[in-house]
């Protein structure tokens, strides 16, 4: 019913979509997988009207259509549920649901709130969400907001003649297991009303939910897999173009660390309301992983080491020197590098190019009395682009246009090239695909072998266990238990969970 024929899209320097053929039947759930930079986001943007294809055709029920903006696509029944939620937090649920389509409730210039509330209630019933439509959106939980977003898209049903296609972009990335199941159940029930395109990094979820899976690589559809038509490994192989290494977390590269050299030492550090009585040492070459639930205090510990938070009680020492009350600038000067979770906000400056981003934290090394040696900076950037095989056309490429994995590499290169030997990694693999994740794991091992002390907050328990020498479980701001993680004698996720919850 909805079809793409030989759709092509080019950006300066990148052939993002190469002659894509894609179709979706009524009531079908189609999965879309691929590495970062494979062209998934571009394809989705073409589907919901944010991009216009350079070549090829978009067909709905056999008739060619062309959208110049998402609103036109919506009028043809194509809706998008965004990964980064698009609801306006200071408006109420019903205002959000009917945002831009309030006219139906307006009588003589006045909004009939009762009618809108009733209509919103009906939409919310579709997604089985029982909340007051007059609730301010910011008060909802994450999963509730996700459902409101879905309800908002489902209003297309009343507005549009014909079939609906709904895109779900990474809808599960921040949901708990139960919430994911709830969402899946709902999506399956809603197939009576709409077709779904489901994009996710979690292979097991895509395989569970989708009737068919489109596998993308380098801007092409490399395979279409029917339900049960292939194993997860086979699909991953097609996505990456190689087998996923059995030694996924590079455990065979894990070497013992240098116990004689302490880089960071915390003794009884506390911040009221956040962490209490935290004591540990990070040694040269050690990967120390902080494990805990969201809000358990892992972040606060990282940010304390980085100097963004100042310990109220206890002592923080960096390389033997008292670091209480350091500012980030002083921490950076003593060799600390920080890879934040919010890459777009704290990791790279979009609009600045690769070499400018790389030397941002270490301009002192490449300047004399405030005058930059640009040639040297560019040489450095070229060297690291090669070392980490960063996909950028040159050191002049705008970092904002790189894929997530490549942005992360630029962030890591920024700190490593500056000689940072204490690395704080906050979810370094979040939102990355398998190939890019493996690159990050390789970099972690390489840094560890070079004697860098690493404090890691991992994305998953498996990742934490696989990568670390030492695991510290944090709960409610207190240290619960320390695990040694020698290769071959690592704790299981179950061991850790026991102390986390």
Site residues for other proteins per CB under 8 A: 12-13, 306, 308, 327-329, 331-333, 338, 340, 345-352, 356, 359-361, 363-364, 367, 370-372, 374, 393, 414
Of residues 215 and 302, the one with the C-beta less far from other proteins: 302
Whether 216 and 34 have beta carbons less than 8 Å apart is answered as yes
CB of 225 to other proteins, least distance (A): 36
- In whole angstroms, give the CA distance from residue 39 to residue 205: 20
Q: Taking the alpha carbons of 341, 342, 347, 353 in that order, is the dihedral positive or negative? A: positive
Q: Where are the alpha helices (DSSP H) in 389-492?
A: 404-417, 434-449, 461-467
**Best CA proximity match to 415, nearest among 362, 372, 468:** 362
Comparison of 46 and 434: residue with beta carbon closer to other proteins: 46
- We find the least distance from the C-beta atom of residue 458 to other proteins, in angstroms, to be 20
Rounded to a whole number of angstroms, the minimum distance from the CB of residue 371 to other proteins is 5
Rg (CA), the chain: 25
Q: Which is nearer to other proteins, 181 or 367 (CB)?
A: 367
Nearest approach, Cβ of residue 189 and other proteins (Å) = 35
Which C-beta is closer to other proteins: that of 213 or that of 332?
332
Which residues, at least 6 apart from 11, have a Cβ–Cβ distance to it below 8 Å?
401
Q: Which of 391, 97, 376 is nearest to 219 (CA)?
A: 391
Written as six digits, the tokens of 462 are 């498996």
Q: For residues 103 and 98, give the distance between their C-alpha atoms in angstroms, rounded to a whole number.
A: 9
Least Å distance, CB 157 to other proteins, is 27
Nearest to 403 by CA among 38, 46, 12: 38
Shortest separation between residue 399's beta carbon and other proteins, angstroms: 10
For other proteins, the closer of residues 293 and 394 by Cβ is 394
Cβ 109 to other proteins, closest distance in Å?
25
Look at residues 439, 425, 408, 410 and name the one whose alpha carbon lies nearest to residue 282. Answer: 425
Q: How far is the CB of 257 from other proteins (least distance, A)?
A: 26
Please, which residue, 174 or 374, has the CB nearer to other proteins?
374
Decide: 184 and 173 in contact? Cβ < 8 Å. Answer: no
Query: Is 409 or 445 the residue whose CB approaches other proteins more closely?
Result: 409
Decide whether 14 or 222 has the Cβ nearer to other proteins.
14
User: Is 416:337 a contact under the CB 8 Å cutoff?
Assistant: yes
Residues for the chain: how many in total? 501
């Amino acid at each position: 019913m909805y079809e793409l024929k030989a759709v092509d899209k080019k950006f300066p320097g990148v052939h993002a979509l190469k002659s894509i053929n894609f179709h979706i039947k009524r009531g079908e759930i189609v999965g879309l997988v691929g590495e970062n930079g494979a062209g998934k986001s571009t394809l989705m943007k073409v589907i919901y009207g944010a991009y216009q294809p350079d070549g090829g055709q978009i067909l709905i029920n056999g008739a060619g259509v062309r959208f110049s903006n998402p609103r036109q696509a919506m009028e043809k029944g194509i809706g998008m549920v965004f990964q980064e939620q698009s609801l306006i937090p200071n408006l109420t649920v019903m205002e959000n649901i009917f945002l831009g389509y309030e006219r139906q409730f307006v009588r003589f210039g006045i909004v009939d709130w009762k009618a809108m509330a009733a209509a919103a209630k009906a939409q919310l019933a579709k997604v089985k969400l029982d909340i007051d439509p007059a609730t301010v959106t910011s008060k909802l939980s994450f999963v509730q907001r996700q459902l409101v977003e879905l309800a908002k898209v489902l209003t297309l049903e009343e507005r549009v003649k014909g079939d609906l296609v709904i895109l779900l972009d990474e809808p599960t990335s921040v949901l708990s297991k139960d919430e994911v199941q709830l969402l899946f159940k709902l999506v399956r029930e809603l197939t009576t009303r709409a077709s779904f395109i489901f994009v996710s990094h979690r292979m097991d979820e895509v395989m569970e939910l989708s009737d068919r899976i489109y596998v993308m690589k380098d801007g092409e559809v490399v395979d279409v897999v029917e339900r049960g038509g292939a194993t997860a490994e086979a699909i991953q192989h097609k996505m990456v173009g190689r087998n996923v290494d059995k030694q996924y977390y590079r455990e065979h590269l894990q070497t013992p660390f240098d116990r004689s050299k302490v880089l960071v030492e915390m003794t009884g550090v506390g911040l009221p309301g956040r962490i209490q009585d935290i004591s540990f040492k990070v040694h040269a070459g050690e990967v120390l992983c902080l494990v805990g639930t969201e809000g358990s205090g892992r972040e606060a510990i990282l940010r304390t080491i980085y100097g963004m938070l100042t310990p109220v009680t206890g002592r923080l020492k960096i390389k033997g020197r008292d670091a209480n009350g350091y500012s980030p600038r002083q921490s950076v000067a003593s060799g600390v590098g920080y890879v934040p979770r919010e890459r777009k906000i704290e990791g790279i400056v979009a609009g600045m190019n690769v070499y400018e981003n790389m030397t941002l934290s270490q301009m002192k090394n490449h300047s004399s009395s405030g005058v930059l040696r640009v040639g040297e900076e560019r040489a450095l950037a070229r060297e690291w682009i090669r070392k980490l095989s960063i996909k950028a056309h040159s050191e002049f490429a705008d970092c904002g246009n790189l894929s997530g994995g490549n942005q992360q590499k630029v962030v890591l290169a920024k700190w490593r090239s500056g000689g940072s030997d204490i690395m704080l990694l906050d979810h370094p693999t979040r939102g990355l695909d398998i190939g890019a994740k493996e690159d990050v794991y390789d970099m972690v091992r390489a840094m560890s072998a070079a004697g860098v002390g690493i404090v890691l907050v991992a994305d998953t328990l498996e990742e934490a266990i696989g990568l670390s020498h030492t695991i510290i479980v944090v709960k409610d701001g207190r240290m619960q238990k320390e695990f040694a993680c020698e290769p071959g004698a690592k704790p299981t996720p179950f061991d850790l969970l026991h102390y986390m919850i």
